[in-house]
Every structure is written in C-alpha cells, then in structure tokens.
Amino acid sequence: MERQSGKSMRPERPSLPCALACALAIGGLDPGGGAGILADLRAFAAAGAFGCAAVTLTTAQSTAGLKSVRYVRSREVTLQAEEVLQSQRVRAVKVGALGSRENVRAVARLLLRHAAIPVVVDTPMRPTRGRARLLADDALATVRRELLPRATLVTVNLLEAQALVGAKVRTLGEAHDAARLLCDTGARAALIKGGHMTGRDAIDVLAMDGEVIELRASRLTIGPTHGTGCTFASLIAGRLAVRTRPRRVHRDDLVAAIRWAKRVHHAALARTVDVGRGMRVMVF
C-alpha cells in the first residue's frame, strides 16, 4: 500500500491581502436573510469588502413578509457604529432602514463626525410585503433635512422619491426632475431606480454635479424578489470601500461604482433563488 506524504491534502485557500477595507451597514435585521443587514453583508463580500453592521431595528420577517418591527434606541445604534468606525478600516457606509426619527438624527450626526467617509443612503419606508413601518411617519422630514445632506449618493425607488420630493414620480421625465430635487437637499448625487417604471428597459436616473445620466439594462421578467434595493445600494458602497480612500469621492469613481453594481445586480436578478415560501432572494 502506498503511503501518502505528510503534506496536507486540504485545498489551498486563495491568498488574501494583508489588509481589507471595511464597509459598514447601518440598518435593520431581517431574520429571513433576504434583506437588511444580512443582504448588505453578502453584497459587501461580493464587492471584496469586509462587512460590518450596526442594527437600528429588529423585525419578525421572512420571505413571506414583514410581521412586526421594533426600533433600537438611538444611543445603542450610535455606540455600535462608533465602535466600528473608531477601530476598523471603514471606507464606506451604507444606511438602510432607520425606524425612528431619533435614529435618523443620531445617524446623521454620526456621519457628520466622519464626513470623509463616502455614504450611500437607501432608507426604505415600507416593506414589499407587510404593513409595519420601516421609517416612522414623523421621521421623513428629518431624513430630508438632516440625513440626505450627509449622502454621497441617495438611492430611492419611485414611491420613496415621491415621498421625499412631495410630487408624483411616474415617468422618466419626472424621475429626472425628482433626482435633481434630491440633490438640492445637499446630497452629492441621487439615483432613482427604474424597476417600477414600464418599458423594455429598466432605466435608472442618476443626477450629479448638475448633470443627469440614464443607466439602462434590459428589463427582466422575474417574480417578487426580496431585498433588491438593499443589495444594489450595498454593492455600490462595497465597491466604493475597496476602490476609494477616505476623501471626497471623485465623480468618475462614483459613476464607475454604480455601473459596476448595476451589472452585478442585474446578473443576480437573472438567477434569483427560492429559499422557502414567498419571495425569491438574490445570491452571489
């Protein structure tokens, strides 16, 4: 019988860089894993960033829908995020569901203290399925007044854009106008997602530096899918984390990160998976 050498038969792991950039998600916990900070962490990993998270709210939720929400106290949210920001190499922040007005205000102040770090704001208000609120009614004005001015990029769907600008957003032209209005709040750039519009192409509208860019992808015919908005914003943030340094993000860096994220997101949408009852989810 031939002896095996003493050399390990385990497959070699690919070498990693000595230092990894971190991306921090500040948002809600979805126990089902399809959305919220668990989806954020998968997207960060797909972009090559080390994912970190601060929890703003907990939910009773699955792919079947959202049953209930419980907000975390703003002091706890700040403590969680500040510890990571002080000790780890955070190169980008993604802001998701915040819940209460106090959490919105606390996160805005936190981001002001770390103003050199790029921030992608994607703050959902209502779930795809379920009636519980991911953003309190009295928090919307605080988002507009205090949080959006901290954003390198704000990403919203049509309904969220309507709520933030106070006008109907249904057509491509209205999306152009709304994206500009969101930039007027102080956000560096605003992207209105075109998934809920009609037409052969899904067209996202990006406003930045006085210009509007249309980003097109062929529209896919897919069933209800969980966490698409969370994932797209987090792909952008993760890409910014590994491709930029703590400084004002150059316009070309931001556009390149968005284009990369849109390609990866579109490919993931084309291969969503079934993990149980209800909506499908995105994987990488």
**Contact present, 24 and 84 (Cβ < 8 Å):** yes
Q: How many CA atoms lie within 13 A of 36 on its CB side?
A: 27
Q: Is there a catalytic annotation at residue 229?
A: yes
Question: Which residue is catalytic, options 28, 36, 96, 227?
Answer: 227
Q: Is there a catalytic annotation at residue 168?
A: no
Q: Is there a catalytic annotation at residue 171?
A: no
For residue 261, what are the CA distances in angstroms to 15, 230, 236, 269? 24, 12, 5, 12
The one-letter code for the residue type at 65 is G
Question: Which residue is catalytic, options 228, 231, 244, 272?
Answer: 228
Question: Which residue is catalytic, options 225, 231, 244, 272?
Answer: 225
Our measurement of the distance from residue 136's CA atom to the centroid of its chain's CA atoms, rounded to an integer in Å, reads 19
Q: Position of tokens 């067209």?
A: 203
Cα Rg, the chain, nearest whole Å: 19
Q: Is there a catalytic annotation at residue 238?
A: no
Helix (H), strand (E) counts: the chain:
8, 11
**Contact present, 103 and 71 (Cβ < 8 Å):** yes
Question: Which residue is catalytic, options 193, 238, 262, 272?
Answer: 193
Q: Is there a catalytic annotation at residue 18?
A: no
**Contact present, 152 and 182 (Cβ < 8 Å):** no
Question: Which residue is catalytic, options 194, 229, 238, 262?
Answer: 229
Q: Is there a catalytic annotation at residue 65?
A: no
**DSSP string covering 202-213:** EEEEEEETTEEE
Question: Which residue is catalytic, options 28, 32, 230, 244?
Answer: 230
189 Ramachandran zone, left/alpha/beta (phi>0; psi -120 to 50): beta
**Contact present, 191 and 179 (Cβ < 8 Å):** yes
Which positions are annotated as active-site residues? 193, 225, 227-230
